[in-house]
């Protein structure tokens, strides 16, 4: 599964050491990576933000780590992920897991892809140093090496 996790990202979907003034801006950056890479439309970014507005910060799934996503829809052009590391952390209102330094955007065309990607990420997040390793990335190739 790690190989497919590595293939989910492209140089266009990885935004390192970016600035965001709010959780909405942080998710917007994740959406920008998905849109620029041709993974999803801007409508999908709006859906990711809307999901948190409606359901709360459930996307903050580990300390310092948020997994932005929405339901599979026609806004998803193909399966893939984006990665945003934040120069300064952002509060999502997730108590124990705040503040967030890393946001991964996930776009899946169906529930099976969605679940498989969540499981692969969950395995990586089981290592408490994984988020710290993401924060140290300086190039796209470093991410691929980390995931392989």
Q: What are phi and psi of 74, to 5 degrees?
A: -70, -10
The number of distinct structural domains making up the chain is 1
Section 115-142 average pLDDT: 86
The predicted structure's pLDDT at residue 44: 98
Q: CA-to-CA distance for 68 and 70, rounded, in angstroms?
A: 7
Over residues 95-103, mean pLDDT: 93
Torsion angles phi and psi, residue 84, rounded to 5: -125, 125
Predicted confidence (pLDDT) at residue 95 exceeds the cutoff of 70: yes
For residue 20, what pLDDT is reported?
97
| Between residues 74 and 121, the one the model is more confident about | 74
Query: Residue 39 in contact with residue 13, Cβ under 8 Å?
Result: yes
Active-site annotation holder among 69, 97, 114, 145:
69
**What domain range includes position 133?**
2-147
| Structure confidence at residue 99 as a pLDDT band (50, 70, 90) | very high
**Whether pLDDT at 58 is above 50:** yes
Closest-CA residue to 25 (of 90, 95, 96, 98): 90
Where helices occur in the chain by DSSP H, the ranges are: 2-7, 23-36, 42-55, 111-125, 130-135, 140-147
- Is 50 labeled as catalytic in the residue annotation? no
Task: Give the mean pLDDT of 24-42.
Answer: 98
Residue 8 scores a pLDDT above 60: yes
| The predicted structure's pLDDT at residue 1 | 32
Assign residue 76 the CATH number of its domain. Answer: 3.40.930.10
Structure tokens at 142: 């470093």
Distance CA 26, CA 92 (A): 10
Taking the C-alpha atoms of residue 89 and residue 104, their distance in angstroms, rounded to an integer, is: 14
Report pTM.
0.92
C-beta atoms surrounding 29 within 10 Å: 22
Please give the Cα distance from 14 to 85 (Å, whole number): 9
Say what the pLDDT of residue 111 is.
80
Half-sphere CA count of 108, side-chain side, radius 13 A: 18
């Amino acid at each position: 599964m790690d190989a497919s996790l590595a293939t989910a990202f492209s140089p266009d979907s990885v935004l390192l050491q970016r600035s965001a003034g709010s959780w909405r801006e942080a998710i917007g950056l994740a959406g920008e990576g998905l849109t620029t890479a041709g993974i999803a439309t801007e409508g999908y970014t709006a859906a990711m933000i809307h999901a948190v507005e409606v359901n709360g910060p459930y996307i903050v799934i580990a300390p310092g780590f948020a997994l932005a996503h929405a339901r599979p829809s026609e806004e998803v052009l193909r399966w893939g992920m984006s990665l945003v590391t934040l120069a300064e952390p952002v509060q999502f209102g997730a108590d124990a897991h705040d503040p967030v330094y890393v946001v991964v955007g996930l776009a899946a065309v169906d529930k099976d892809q969605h679940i498989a990607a969540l499981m692969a990420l969950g395995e990586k997040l089981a290592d408490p140093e994984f988020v710290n390793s993401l924060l140290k990335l300086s190039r796209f190739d470093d991410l691929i090496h980390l995931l392989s």
